[in-house]
Amino acid sequence: MKVNTMKSNKNSTQQLLRNDGIPFDASLFEEININRSAVERRASTLSGRRSVKKQWQAAWLLKAISCIDLTTLAGDDTPSNVQRLCAKAKSPVRLDILEAMGMQDENIHVGAVCVYHNFIKEAVKGLQGSSIPVAAVSTGFPAGNIPLKERIRQIEISVTAGAKEIDIVVSRDLIIQSDWKTLYNEVAACRKACGDAHMKTILATGEISTYTKVAKASWVSMMAGSDFIKTSTGKEPVNATLPVSLVMIRTIREYYELTGYKVGFKPAGGISKAKQAVNWLVLIKEELGNDWLTPDLFRFGASSLLGDIERQLEHFVTGRYSAAFRHPMA
């Protein structure tokens, strides 16, 4: 029952030209006007289709695992919780399931572990011996309502502590007021503070009133040097949706066509089911192509998604669904 359509993470990574950003130029995005009904109609075609099944579904789900930022951002996090999460990140699927699929030697692991700053060192310790990076939320996450100097300092401290990826939040008031130059300057300052650490810029789209502003904020964030643009903190009333993802993905495509820089995309918040994960992967494949179907350019921000994926893989192997409690820390 070998699933031979999935390659290990070590074979799927690419050598990417990092997005250095470009000078601010409002003329590149000021005429954008998003047709909401058209976007939502296109997005609805994904969830309305029949799902892929059998070994093809299993292959898509293994791909999804490799693109998960396994996340814990709870108020009751403890060092032991983070250690357990790191163990799950390194071995996200039970060995017996992988053996039944012929995938036990493929080095399946998640894309990153995402934690608050005070758990970075614990996560680095827990991931020792693996290639999995630690991602840290920063800049006054989730609201971002602190002075820019403090946000910069948070980034610098997180990088010093060992974070290889920094998830920043933007000032939503700047987007609401269409103060694009100030937004550009703030994101560019954060990117400079990140140094070699890759920066994911969170737009918190659930707090942005129109798709047009989402598209413009995406453009500004990429122009300022973001390595990824990300939908949500996971703390908003509305988080990642397919329509808002479509808007952001198309700005990524347009930015690539203009500059040659490939910017990554991360939907986060509310993605907890395996079928949802496949929908997002299909959206990426159809809109951006196979180059973006790697952890270098696509991530899910998720905490409970992995548990449902593992249940679906066990069903593929055994024909039976297991109880959720049999898949801890997912």
Contact 101, 316 (CB under 8 A): yes
pLDDT at residue 328 above 70?
no
Q: Which residues form the domain of 56? A: 22-319
For residues 244, 197, 145 and 186, what is the CA-based torsion angle, rounded to 10 degrees?
Answer: -80
pLDDT at 21 over 70: yes
pLDDT of 7 strictly over 70? no
Residue 179 lies in a domain: yes
pTM of the model: 0.93
What region does 270 belong to: left with phi over 0, alpha with psi -120 to 50, or beta? left
pLDDT bracket for residue 16 (50, 70, 90): confident
230 is catalytic: yes
Q: From CA 303, how far away is CA 155, in angstroms rounded?
A: 23
Looking at residue 203, its pLDDT comes to 98
Q: Does the residue 1 lie in any domain?
A: no
Q: In what order do the strands lie in the sheet with 68-71?
A: 264-266, 228-230, 198-202, 165-169, 134-137, 112-115, 68-71, 300-302
Residue 111 lies in a domain: yes
CA–CA dist 186, 151 (Å, integer): 10
Percent of the chain with pLDDT over 70: 95
Task: Tell me how far apart the alpha carbons of residues 265 and 228 are, in angstroms, rounded to a whole number.
Answer: 5
| Tens of pLDDT, residues 232-262 | 999 998 999 999 999 999 999 999 999 999 9
Identified catalytic residue from 63, 88, 90, 230? 230
Distance between CA atoms of residues 244 and 214, nearest Å: 8
- Residue 60 within a domain: yes
- At 324, is the pLDDT very low, low, confident or very high (cuts 50, 70, 90)? confident
pLDDT at 64: 97
Whether residue 180 is predicted with pLDDT greater than 70 in this model: the reply is: yes
Task: Please say if 167 is a catalytic residue.
Answer: yes
Q: Is residue 324 part of a domain?
A: no
138 falls within a domain: yes
CA 17: distance to chain centroid? 19
CATH of the domain at 112: 3.20.20.70
- Contact between 284 and 246 under an 8 Å Cβ cutoff? The reply is no
In a domain, 144, yes or no: yes
More confident call, 168 vs 330: 168
Confidence of residue 264 (pLDDT cuts 50, 70, 90): very high
Spot the catalytic one: 69, 88, 167, 227.
Answer: 167
pLDDT tens for 85-122 read: 999 999 999 999 999 999 999 999 999 999 999 999 99
Q: How many domains does the chain have?
A: 1
The catalytic residue among 90, 266, 296, 308 is: 266
Mean pLDDT across the stretch 209-234? 97
Q: Is the pLDDT of residue 14 over 80?
A: no
Quote the CA–CA distance of 251 and 257 in Å, as a whole number: 10
Judge whether 296 counts as a catalytic residue.
no
Q: Is residue 327 part of a domain?
A: no
**In terms of pLDDT, which residue wins out, 199 or 3?**
199
Average pLDDT, stretch 145-152? Answer: 96
Judge contact between 106 and 58, C-beta under 8 A. Answer: no
Return the minimum-mean-pLDDT range out of 56-70, 245-259, 264-278, 315-329: 315-329
